[in-house]
Amino acid sequence: MKNLVSMKELSTDQILSILNQTKAFHDGTSSTLRNNYMVSNLFFEPSTRTKMSFEMAERKLNLEVLPFDAGFSSTLKGETLYDTVKVLESIGLDVLVIRHEQNNYFEELVGKVKPVIINGGDGTGNHPTQSLLDIYTIWQEFGTLQNKVITIVGDISHSRVARSNADALTRLGAQVRFVCPPEWQGEFEAFNNFDEVIEDSDVLMMLRVQHERHDGKTIFSKEQYHQAYGLTLEREKKMNKSAIIMHPAPFNRDVEIATELVECNRSRIFKQMENGVFVRMAVIEMILKGRE
Ligand code: CP
């Protein structure tokens, strides 16, 4: 693995290696990287979790982190992403974590620039480290993904998380189902009635309603959405005893999920965030070790 831009480029064995290395870091193993590396996190779309989690992972790996502020960069003067990356290559950056609103932005970079490119999210396309931390969280919970029924609910067509998880979870043996309003179905086959699929789900993975990608169109009030597709207190009562609740976050309280359920016993939402640090350590270390 030389870069990580989408889940599709990872073999099942590579995903399992990342899970094992994630667990090792989670259990307290230290990094064995031999060289000093310089890394920068280029976030052209807002982020709290992914950006801070990458920075924590990089610091735990003893990498040097150079701050990059997209809002004060020369991209505002028209410098392209490719030229920005060439600048950072020229001054000696080894690893660039990039989030960008353009789907597949990485195609103009991978194989053409020297720094490692790790995708922190591209438009509605891919979010591979979110997918890996979701997979790790399910694996941590159940010890396997084989035959687990994972129901992904919400704004599917705008979700890079759904897209990244769909293929990877299926390859690992899980049964993945989607639930959403017909308007947000995109290329996926989906159930339109959430209540049909609650009882036999092992995981309910709720997705954020991404208002910023809806071009100002509103098809539901918050209350209407919550009643039709949200995880309400009534729906939680129908969940299987051992089933868990996940959400990549940020979450809209009382829209995708009742506020009382955000930190309930079934919720793994903050566990997902904790796990993200160790997953990102594992990804960065595996790529850099390949270079040593
Ligand atoms: N889950 C996720 O990608 O969150 P951020 O947008 O805060 O990074």
Q: What is 68-97 written as a DSSP string?
A: --GGGSGGGGT--HHHHHHHHHHTT--EEE
**CB-based contact 255:269 (threshold 8 Å):** no
Q: What is the pLDDT of residue 150?
A: 98
Ligand 1 atom at minimum distance from 53 CA: 8
Provide, rounded to the nearest whole percent, the portion of the chain with pLDDT above 70: 100
Q: At 290, list the tokens.
A: 């390949």
pLDDT band at 11 (very low <50, low <70, confident <90, very high): very high
d(CA 171, CA 165): 10
CA of 161 to the centre of ligand 1 (A): 10
Residue 248 beta carbon below 6 angstroms from any ligand 1 atom: yes
The DSSP line for 193-232 is -GGGGSTT-SEEEE----GGGTTT---S-HHHHHHHHSB-
Tell me yes or no: is domain 7-126+273-291 CATH 3.40.50.460: no
Q: What is the ipTM of this complex?
A: 0.99
Nearest partner of 137 among 210, 203, 191, judged by Cα: 203
Residue 14 beta carbon below 6 angstroms from any ligand 1 atom: no
- Residues 6 or more apart whose Cβ sits within 8 Å of residue 275: 22, 26, 133, 136, 137, 140
Residue 120 beta carbon below 6 angstroms from any ligand 1 atom: no
pLDDT digits (tens, 9 = 90+) for 201-217: 999 999 998 878 788 77
Does 177 have pLDDT greater than 90? Answer: yes
Ligand 1 atom at minimum distance from 99 CA: 8
Tell me which of 41, 43, 49 to substitute to probe ligand 1's pocket, judged by most ligand atoms within 8 Å of the beta carbon: 49
CATH of domain 128-268: 3.40.50.1370
d(CA 209, CA 154): 7
What is the mean predicted confidence (pLDDT) over 68-93? 98
d(CA 228, CA 45): 29
Q: At 48, list the tokens.
A: 């709290």
Nearest CA to ligand 1 atom 4: 49
Residue 249 beta carbon below 6 angstroms from any ligand 1 atom: yes
Residue with tokens 């003067």: 77
Strand order in the sheet with 244-246: 175-179, 149-153, 203-206, 244-246
State the span(s) of the chain assigned CATH 3.40.50.1370.
7-126+273-291, 128-268
Nearest partner of 163 among 184, 144, 188, judged by Cα: 188
Ligand 1 atom at minimum distance from 249 CA: 1
CA of 45 to the centre of ligand 1 (A): 10
Q: What is the pLDDT of residue 277?
A: 98
Residue with tokens 């991978």: 110
The DSSP line for 242-275 is T-EEE--S---BTTTB-GGGTTSTTB-HHHHHHH
Residue 47 beta carbon below 6 angstroms from any ligand 1 atom: yes
Give, for 286, the enclosing helix (H) or strand (E): helix 269-291
pLDDT digits (tens, 9 = 90+) for 31-59: 999 989 999 999 999 999 999 999 999 99
d(CA 289, CA 284): 8
Q: Which of 29-43, 179-193, 211-225 has the lowest mean pLDDT?
A: 211-225
CA of 34 to the centre of ligand 1 (A): 30
